């Protein structure tokens, strides 16, 4: 019959093991990894929403600004390129794939900016209800993209910090050897330059 002291030792060992596992990040690492994946899904969702709005916007502008064919073509081509480059959650550790994705999205953003600038030359277009609704939806989507990217950056920061700090670094090495630091968004040098405005 086990003595009371051996029972106390077993209980203390179980409690100690529980505390050690909870303090070492055993469950926190996969939780943060899944959060980063979910935030990335939201980023992709918002980019897809933007891509879905573009054909309607182009069609509306086309009716008014047929002579601006090069701008409309650039938007359509940029949209096609942006939707061809996809990144899944497992690619988030590859800086080259993320850079290619970001560049395609930046090209689409630039083409859309030129398209909206063209609309300034057509007063009838600027007052068209369909165009105004699409422009408003597009602006809202751009805001959602910014929020989704910020949330992804925050989630990646938490996850990467967990992987790089002790004792979580040791836990990751023992229990999650395939866990790698995820890439975050960067801004190209072109995007950092102020746009040139000419009157």
The pLDDT tens digits of the residues spanning 8-33 come to 877 777 766 665 555 667 788 889 99
Report yes or no on 104 lying in a domain.
Answer: yes
On the question of pLDDT at 168 being above 60, the answer is yes
Report yes or no on 10 lying in a domain.
Answer: no
Domain of 57 in residue numbering reads as 33-188
Residue 152 burial (10 A CB sphere; 0-12, 13-18, 19+)? buried
**Would you place residue 124 in the very low, low, confident or very high pLDDT band (cuts 50, 70, 90)?**
confident
Neighbours of 46 (CB within 10 A): 19
Report yes or no on 91 lying in a domain.
Answer: yes
Sorted by sequence, the CB contacts under 8 Å of residue 37 that are 6+ apart come out as 89, 92
Report yes or no on 61 lying in a domain.
Answer: yes
Contact 152, 40 (CB under 8 A): yes
The pLDDT tens digits of the residues spanning 90-123 come to 888 888 888 888 888 888 888 888 888 877 777 7
Report yes or no on 4 lying in a domain.
Answer: no
Q: Which has the higher per-residue pLDDT, 121 or 169? A: 169
End-to-end CA distance of the chain: 94
Count of structural domains within the chain:
1
Contact 92, 183 (CB under 8 A): yes
On the question of pLDDT at 133 being above 50, the answer is yes
Contact 184, 156 (CB under 8 A): yes
CA distance 22 to 17: 9
On the question of pLDDT at 135 being above 60, the answer is yes
Report yes or no on 159 lying in a domain.
Answer: yes
Report yes or no on 198 lying in a domain.
Answer: no
CA distance 4 to 161: 43
Radius of gyration (C-alpha) of the chain in whole angstroms: 25
What per-residue confidence (pLDDT) applies to 198? Answer: 39
For the segment 138-155, the average pLDDT, to the nearest whole number, is 92
């Amino acid at each position: 019959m086990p003595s009371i002291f051996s029972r106390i030792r077993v209980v203390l060992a179980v409690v100690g093991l529980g505390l050690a596992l909870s303090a070492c990040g055993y469950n926190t690492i996969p939780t943060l990894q899944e959060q980063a994946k979910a935030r990335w899904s939201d980023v992709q969702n918002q980019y897809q929403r933007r891509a879905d709005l573009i054909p309607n916007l182009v069609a509306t502008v086309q009716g008014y600004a047929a002579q601006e064919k090069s701008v409309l073509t650039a938007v359509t081509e940029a949209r096609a390129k942006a939707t061809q480059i996809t990144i899944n959650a497992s690619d988030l550790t590859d800086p080259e794939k993320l850079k290619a994705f970001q560049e395609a999205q930046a090209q689409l953003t630039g083409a859309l900016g030129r398209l909206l600038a063209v609309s300034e030359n057509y007063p009838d277009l600027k007052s068209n209800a369909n165009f105004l609704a699409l422009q408003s939806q597009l602006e809202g989507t751009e805001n959602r993209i910014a929020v989704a990217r910020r949330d992804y950056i925050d989630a990646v920061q938490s996850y990467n910090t967990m992987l790089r700090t002790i004792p979580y670094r040791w836990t990751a090495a023992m229990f999650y050897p395939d866990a790698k630091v995820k890439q975050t968004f960067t801004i190209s040098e072109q995007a950092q330059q102020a746009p040139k405005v000419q009157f």
